[in-house]
Amino acid sequence: MGRSGVGAVALFTLSLLFVSYKMVDSAIGVNWGTLSFHKMRPSTVVDLLKANKITKVKLFDTNPDALRALMGTGTQVMVGIPNEMLSSFNSDLFVQQNLSRFIGKNGADIRYVAVGNEPFLTSYGGQFQNYVVPAMVNLQQSLVKANLANYVKLVVPCNADAYEANVPSQGTFRPELTQIMTQLVSFLNSNGSPFVVNIYPFLSLYGNSDFPQDYAFFEGSSHPVPDGPNTYYNAFDGNFDTLVAALTKLGYGQMPIVIGEIGWPTDGAVGANLTAARVFNQGLISHVLSNKGTPLRPGSPLADVY
């Protein structure tokens, strides 16, 4: 959702994904956004995480209050570097101040650093594009120096607009991103990192009056999408497999994929309400925990979903 999405993530993550469900080898995490009119104390957020057996959390920065509150909890953490910092930050200093001082015995269990947030978003006009890979290379070197490279992995959360297709099997990355995506995916593969993508079926519904509403959810659709031998009954599977196809065309069809953001808002737009949000999130959780996979990855459990 880019910069504008952090506040929305803060609001619907804490109010909607904290719902009752049985966790089975949990792959479900939450985003912890801090742009909100009603900020919760970090200790309160951590208590909510514990109470709902949420063991993974994704931050959009390296908020020290949040990291201190997470110390000793065993919660796996993804921290983030804002896009605006990519061109100028000192990677050694970043690792020292934001990772090394929090990691350790009874420390914060930081597993990932998100290098930017949707830096290839079309609306950014390429302004962050050339900084991403150099920032990752410098950070990786700093992680090696700090003896953290085997523990902390670098990722780049991408918006789903980074790839395109009429049907999932034809998925490709946007032409202007082919070169940088080839470099990025090669880097991720070499360092054991997943591809992180943010998928919002709500935005597809909100932005297109012809988009079938039931296709945005997980209860089947009266407007399925045929694609060769496969048929898609929900937007999530179609979007996910479009990315799988795009990665396959680069030679990385088996790369793990993490869903960095997904959810449904409760207010602020047509179709944004508590009932729809609950149906979507419960449907998503059931879909993820079923381990059914998608048509292009059948029977393959999804990686983490935030």
Whether the per-residue pLDDT at 27 is higher than 60: the answer is yes
| pLDDT score for 303 | 83
Whether the per-residue pLDDT at 246 is higher than 70: the answer is yes
pLDDT digits (tens, 9 = 90+) for 96-131: 999 999 999 999 999 999 999 999 999 999 999 999
104 φ/ψ sector (left φ>0, alpha ψ -120 to 50, else beta) = left
Site of tokens 């934001």: 98
Q: Which of 164, 176, 219, 261 is catalytic?
A: 261
| pLDDT score for 210 | 87
Radius of gyration of the chain (CA): 19
Question: Is 176 noted as a catalytic residue in this protein?
Answer: no
Mean pLDDT of 195-219: 93
Q: Average pLDDT, whole number, for the chain? A: 91
Q: Which of 118, 164, 176, 219 is catalytic?
A: 118
Partners of 227 in the beta sheet?
A: 230
Distances (CA, A) of 305 to 2, 11, 151, 263: 17, 17, 20, 10
pLDDT digits (tens, 9 = 90+) for 148-164: 999 999 999 999 999 99
Whether the per-residue pLDDT at 17 is higher than 80: the answer is no
Percent of the chain with pLDDT over 70: 92
Mean pLDDT of 37-58: 94
| pLDDT score for 270 | 87
Q: Which amino acid is at 254?
A: Q
CA dihedral (214, 220, 224, 228) positive or negative: positive
Mean pLDDT of 9-16: 41
Higher pLDDT, 19 or 61: 61
User: What residues contact residue 52 under an 8 Å CB cut-off, 6+ apart?
Assistant: 18, 19
Instruction: Give alpha helix (H) positions in 5-131.
Output: 5-16, 42-51, 64-70, 91-95
User: What residues contact residue 38 under an 8 Å CB cut-off, 6+ apart?
Assistant: none
Question: Is 164 noted as a catalytic residue in this protein?
Answer: no
